[in-house]
Structure 1
């Protein structure tokens, strides 16, 4: 029986094998080949080597596209990735093994590109293509450049052009020469005429290439209107340095303009093409500070940085002088802006120009449109709703509180109550559609209220409540969402206020339904995070409790939990409870001895936070999240130390506040604290820092407020380190440090590392009438520093001569500066501009109301019961006061979806003042197109992956060791390496570590998620500079299928440790679809003795076909 069945079994086996081969053949991706040549479209038609060629899958297929005979074959999500290659010396390229389908084929070089060409790749065939590249740069142009030169400098302009132009007629030797003509005039002669000023602005701000000519308005003014420019040079210079694409970039000196102040108009000609630009030669600089109501100008010597008195300063628009003044001995001119300036500027956007003149020297600040004085209206409006989130179909109940600013006392935040004032209220949905409009009138408390019904079919999203009062408009948001309230609440809390390092942290989980029952047997998955809590070290021991600083500290890192240190699963018991346990490390805070041995040495905080986040799922698989924080510290106590200010004086006692708090952050009285002071010194020979003690340590006991006030008297100038220590009842020590700069009124040159410019104040807060003692530190001397107190306007100016690198200045504090202003310092030196800013906080009278509310008859009730609440309002000193209030009783689960903001009311009426003064200067420098700035060969980063390596079969040897090597992809990120291990005896283990993949110089390309055919958008490149010094960076974007609204190459100066951003407006043709290939590169210029840095990124941007999605809805009635 079995023998007879063998032939059948064999046939069946062969059949299965055959079917498998057929399946493999059918499932194999069909592939073809793409070849071609890139050539220039000019008369030469020569091939272009070294050209980037991109093959991008077409993600949208037009069925009526006659160029293709069949739809693309989509063969898996990774089969048709974007491909790139580079043409050889003959301009040829080849791409093999290309999956069959429809693609966009494009090419680009430095100065040439071609838009995407739609091609079809068929199985087993070769697609031959000829790509004709069009120039992306004009035939002749002047690159963006340094426009201002001192008389001691030789001006220059970078000129770029295309060298394959026909030879100039009559030139027997056929030399390639560039004709240069230079005219000299005065800036004031140009700007006093409307037409000339407009044409000059085109020279300054030309976004479509350099203007081809200098207009008659510039060169040939009508008789009597202005003195015509004088032609001072007419020469020809040879063109050198053309690249393989035929473009040259020459940096041409303008020797005729050296040493003679004036405005120089320059025209370059080559063949039938020309380009024009200008340079300004001057020894005058102007710094302009603008606010909505005035302008403050500071005139200084461009190189020396000393003030220039008796300089004429004018604000011009359309050649007309709107305001004028003369600088004083301090170089400062203050001009009140005419009311018509803001009004017309807001409507027309016509730019103004600020110009300074001193003898033959002139300077100008870029044109600016003055808008209306927004944000400084007479009214202030705060709105509150009965709850924080609504569904479609709900009723929103609101109340508005209005106040009118009273400026009669000079205080910014003093109000009167508008009574009987009409108020218009509009509610608009998330699409901007009007939901309701009504008019209300304020009552005797300046309040109004109303309600609005949201349609059950209304859209979700952020609704807007628009309040108009006294011709001013105020807005607030109302959140509407199709939410589902959580059925239960989850709490996570530490079992004790503070754990010591080395102990096991215990966190109690509790899940309770809102109707009171426990969520028994729920499954929990939790994560544990550890983060440093530096609030004790940097907390202000002399703080009076206002929230201007803490509001930022509370929110800045609210979504950051720190380093992940564990995770696990647990089940709640019958009471809906469980305990999560986490072991902590034994570590000790502070430094060793009195020497800071390494800048990178770990300095532990006094306190660390362990955060447990838990996801709890009940039996219905509904999940609710909760989180809690445990405090882990070296001691039961936390200490902070802060001097009364940041600056002290030799021989003058400085108060030092040492504060001690317990785990609940309550003050602890009667605790002994020690304070030691030592000067930070720098050993220039051994290149290390060390400290020299200032006397012996002091001891004191904390008072009822938990503070001990000690005094330190510095003996000399320098940087003083203050160290406070204390011990808890178990003898566990803890410490905190602070710094105090010490400088006499005469100033000094300290043995320390000075930055360009920095400010330090002697107090953290001031009272009106106080005098602030401010230390100004500069890296250069000889210039003047302009100090300005800024806020809604420039309140006060000081022109401070700098004779030493540390200079002390005194500033009287005024009531109108409350609650805060900004102290801004600027200086000009060697054609460089330095700036620094610090806040000055001015304490005003307390304006808080103490409010309580409580149920009269306890906190347990039944449905239908009546609840009575007691509401009290008192001043902070406890004195009762009448007050208007709103009370809402809302389901607590609502706030699990969107929390209330208890500080919103105070923030509306007593916000910190923002600095509304903008600062600009006349000699900003831009580099582009200079021959030394040419783009080097840059390898762009293209391999962006989520997984760098997956090794499923790694194994350690008999000694328990193994090595694994991985090549990191191009991502700039932190990579985590995780190991799951099991032994033959089934012992299991888990470990993880992290590495950071970064560069000292890199860029990121920010794009929309996608574009649609016909779109206009903006692409941005963000340059990160971690090289340790300021960099002048060239950034270039090459994009296929996109039309750039700016030049491909832009420049940006990025400070050390900072980022810079450049942007390109882009547009798409209305018939675009598929994907746009993007290549952005950044580089620093090659300079002798300095390292050059480069980076590049390539990625594609999806492009969706222009169209719309139609929805058809039917409604009717069904019969029986």
Structure 2
């Protein structure tokens, strides 16, 4: 069944302890479908703790019998090839150390350390990957056991672009030098450009003296929307291409607090301003408040209610990603573009149960002005169910009946600091879970609880308490701890007599406590090491990051110990303190404890003080601006460095998140740990590891038209500050009226980094904003509009005009309208008209209020004009058997526009010449679907074979085919399933129709001289034969048609299926013309001149449809087949007429039809 049992097995027949050494065990059972892999069992008195990093290795030897370190022990370190990599002796602290000659990737390298000899008392063994349950990631730490030799920081001028725009990029490359960085030795770096998932090209960029490189990518105007990538060996950045429309209003939404208690009031404030720095007054708003439960974690403790969601399967229903709607409404901004809201947060039961965990309450506000375009922003507040949380940690998660279980209780505040004395209640239940099936088949789990014990208690000043319960019966138990709105539940599994309990502490972890959260170089960190072993323990304390930096050993008393670690600039931005304890538990068994703590050290000497100043802060469009860059170290001393400066329209930056981290974070953010643990006691046979579940403007007098719009106003990648730490750039901004954000990032030769931003605004006292669609449609009647802003303190009267050919206004004399615009206000003006039949419309919107003027074209430039018409083609063909003439009359309806049409007349000396002229190669499908490959492969193969047979000179076409056909063969070879067939997609179930078509193509390729593996053909034949149905099993016409195709393919491959074909020919009335034709070919090949073939061809002659363009055949529209179209059916029948060489009068007429219908 599905039950699990624990069985104690003796490791030898005598039942005595095994001698030290390495043993191999194998478990066999005749009832198992397979036997498990053999097990290796190490028996040892000497415990070897191994720490390996890409740069060095450390081994610590402890005698488990005496609990003392082992000095002068001979140690040999082997690689996976069995070669001795290092050898030596431990020092007086039981330590052996060695440095690797070159950095190693620990993901691909495992090391084994041995002391003594098997059979001797001093035998010990360990491996670098014996850290199960004790690796850094088990403590929530990020690790990287590779050996990166360098780091590349890549960024672009902005994260999002439109097709046709230019992407500017820069990279900074550094070699890794221990814990720091050094200028690269290489002179250049390869950069791979991936455009929309395809590797476009690799370019080799020269590196500057600062280790930097730059470049640009001109996107095609037809660039597909999506994500694109720039990549080096150790660096990557994505950017997005989208047909976006920039927002025109900036919404700044702020909560009055970051977190609050449920039942209290919060206030949100909104400031809406146009990007050209004018208030968005009287703008319509809609808002929604939603709540989404979140978690609160206390490391090592269970927090909150259990619920029943841990029963759910992955992907089970959950509320919206934005949470449950709490409230909503509509409003508008005031004259200053401001709005606020106050809400009282009630105890809302989001998940239909008591609220015991916090929830994120998000307020979403959408604004819309006269343009009709919306802009949205969102802000959130964390709402707590109580002013403290309860953490519960059981001494075991699985136990046996009548064994006492201890529970540690911890009360903490929102910052996870001890919350002092709390009066609490405890209830201990025996629990049974039942399920109910709902109306639509959903399953609800119901918890039935039986109270076993209860108790009131209080925490101490440190928020701590301990409880003990003794379950008397096997089963599932639950402890509820609650008080003052806080509640936590934990589950305990209790087995019967003889079952094995888990160790007394989950995963043998200890929590290290540091005296500070953040240190500066020169500080000393004091860390307390708790010791759970009653008789003391040996401790290995290491400082680690990219390698084992230093170590100390201690003999720790049962009360624990404090250690002091000096921190320097070399330890920035962080180092890890790791502690391994080896001791004996209360029952005298050898055990270990492992702890990690991440010590954060400010990289004060690595981060520059950078200041960017834009002057003037407000200017007009197209005017000159100056940016000054000041760079200094932490003491204010000026420094030389190389910086980039990107000046980008802030409205574009609002469309998406940044696509690269800050430069300080990239180089000096939290670094991962690279040291692996090898801990034999971590692999102890009696150890069970708990794996938790995954539950002011100027220049207005100039009436120039604004039409130079750019989303990046300026980019320079190699601005170098002088000895005074200064650099300046001067340039003219584009015509955008917006806020420009300047972003400066750079690095010194000593790898100090920094960045800063500044903003300047381009605006006008009077400005006009066009309101147009992205494109127009010929013949459409629509309204074009503009919103005119008066940013002065007085009322203005302005003439507002629309100019541009291609729009026929309803009232032409209203192309200029006079409007009054209130002070600090705006008005909307509309023009109704009809779009003319032109390629594009180039519009100019203008506003003239005397001294204040503005004129502008739409941001996207001329508006393209589309025509939603369906192309129609008509073709006819005929023969001139002798000299003379033939009249064809072409008549078009009056509603058609002949200017968009064409009349093509083609004369060919023969039908064969017309066919050869149409020969071409079908390019491969980029998605590599088997169906697409199939539809390309056979036509290309037939075309290639035709070129060989008629001996015509089309070298370019022949070369293309000689490249395409083998490529397709490789794809089809890879897509062939184990049963010999092919599916619609690679790895899809084999399909007989597709497989038959491909088999025929492989045969034709062989006939054309293309090399095809015989195995492919044999396997395909085997699949079709193995799945070939008996005729009497079929009843539907589509099944008969498919059988005809299968017979045809097998016959072409040399398989005798004549008896089946003869039987199928008797059902010709059930077959489509194409299937009759395939069957006729197969029958004729097996027995030339047979009656069945003649009968089938006679049927085809009678069912052909004659027109002025020749003869063709049609299928029943209800028949199921991918070949169910007139052209394909006619082509198959024509192929049969050519193969069988019957009905010579039909063949040229069929070819003429196909020639006339070619596209």
Q: Which has the higher helix share?
A: 2
TM-score of Structure 1 vs Structure 2, range by shorter chain: 0.3 to 0.5
Larger radius of gyration: 2
TM-score (norm 2): 0.41
> Which fold has the larger relative contact order, with Cα–Cα distance below 8 Å and residues 6 or more apart in sequence?
1
Q: Which has the higher strand share?
A: 1
